[in-house]
Amino acid sequence: MDTTRSPPPSLLFLAASLLAAALGWLIVFAARRPSRRRSARLPPGTTGLPLIGETLRLISAYKTPNPEPFIDDRVARHGTGVFTTHVFGERTVFSADPAFNRLLLAAEGRAVHCSYPSSIATLLGPHSLLLTRGPAHKRLHSLTLTRLGRPASPPLMAHIDCLVLATMRDWGEPAATVRLLDEAKKITFNLTVKQLVSIDPGPWTESVRREYVKLIDGFFSIPFPFAHLLPFTTYGQALKARKKVAGALREVIRKRMDEKMENGGAKGEDDEKRDMVEELLDAEGGTFSVEEMVDFCLSLLVAGYETTSVLMTLAVKFLTETPTALAQLKEEHDNIRDIKGKNQPLEWSDYKSMPFTQCVINETLRVANLISGVFRRANTDIHFKEYIIPKGCKIFASFRAVHLNTEHYENARTFDPWRWQSKNKLQSAVGASLFTPFGGGPRLCPGYELARVVVSVFLHHLVTRFSWEEAEEDRIVFFPTTRTLKGYPINLRRRSDSVV
């Protein structure tokens, strides 16, 4: 006889009800999840070819005369200022949206952190100012401000003035043909070397500078495995050049360390004459290692050498192509020279009396965009509009795409320094958020004012001493860095009323 008892009908009904409720909840949850995923997705885009993604397309695009072809094409295709691609070895979200760029710059150290392609990271070194994060970056940034962020210092102003004039005296009398970019790089490199290691222009600085050219060329090359064994590649040559530059700096630093030990660790008496190596040796009880100091100095040489020299060259190119702007600039500087007298060096007060010069510099920075943008990596999921950029994703915030957008600047791709004189949104908080040639947030370039001073002093002595014309047609290229293709050769003639 079967002794098993069937469950009461009430229990069966309860179990069936609970099962139905659970299934219903699962159905609703499953129905909702795809919708949520559809609304919380990566920005649109494509990853391109396996492994290399769209890297080759990006490189070929920036070798054209168009300043922003890669981003322009994808913004037009996807209808949004934020899109996804795959470059330099990983998936990357590109932003041409000023609101998203502001978010990234302000969120440094929290929602995002600095992250550059491995080619740049390897060539600069892990202790460079560009790559350090958190407290390490803060202390290096502070040290940079101490040495390079005070251009009002009379010794620094005097040194800039003397260095520019010394370079111009080598141009010949009464006429000469020079490649302006090469001459500008001599000025900026020698100035930075002097501030870092107190070495005057000579064979040492020139030999290091030649290697720097190869190093910088490797920044946006493809970092092939075992590239150091392939010296015929751009990246292989850059690695070799990096080793030579680091070795030269390491030798100087160790020599200074030995001298400091011999002097019993005493500090120099004149703080204004101290250089960056002295600051590093004394900072935080002398805890910086040799390799930390080498990486830091190497990265500052890159910043001082490349960007300011290109800014000087392109300002002259744009002025040459805009005669009315050149005439107004000459008038401003001739007036300064008439007031000072012909043989008096420029001072801080003279720099502050160059308003149109600052308009020219602003417009050159905007049109040429020496720093096209910055790389960041998401520390957490970032919600922006209908998109979610997932934690760990690489992000590139493009300054150039914003600066050249006609929604923000009328006739955006035309050089117009007068736009900075009018009382419009460019002088407002909105304008400040749109114009970011030196970055922003905790990583605002500490040498931005020094760069303006160097360019202003250079333009002053150029226009008050020379007239010039293009020696041959030249054009701007944007890869691997912004520059002129031929170094901008010009024919110079000394003005009859100039000082020697």
Return the SS3 of 82.
strand
| C-alpha of 68 from chain center | 16
Angle ∠(379,381,383) on CA atoms, nearest 5: 130
Residues near 253 by beta carbon (within 8 Å), at least 6 away in sequence: 197, 277, 290, 293, 294, 297
**How far, in Å, CA of 461 to CA of 463, rounded?**
6
Query: What Å distances lie between residue 218 and 4, 7, 214, 449, 476, CA to CA?
Result: 82, 78, 7, 28, 19
SS (H, E, C) 414-435: CCCHHHHCCCCHHHCHHHHHHC
**How far, in Å, CA of 362 to CA of 435, rounded?**
9
**How far, in Å, CA of 143 to CA of 269, rounded?**
18
Return the SS3 of 493.
strand
Tally the C-alpha atoms within 13 A of residue 297's C-alpha that lie toward its C-beta.
Answer: 31
Return the SS3 of 476.
strand
Is 162 assigned a ligand-binding role in the annotation? no
Residue 443: name the closest of 192, 219, 116, 199 by CA: 116
| Burial label, 1 (beta-carbon count in 10 A; 0-12, 13-18, 19+) | exposed
Contact between 424 and 435 (Cβ < 8 Å): no
- The DSSP annotation for 20-57 comes to HHHHHHHHHHHHHHHHHHHHSBPPSB---BTTTBTHHH
Contact between 245 and 254 (Cβ < 8 Å): no
**How far, in Å, CA of 345 to CA of 235, rounded?**
43
Residues near 452 by beta carbon (within 8 Å), at least 6 away in sequence: 358, 361
Contact between 111 and 390 (Cβ < 8 Å): no
Q: What is the number of other CB atoms lying within 10 angstroms of the CB of residue 327? A: 12
Binding residues for heme: 445
Binding residues: 445
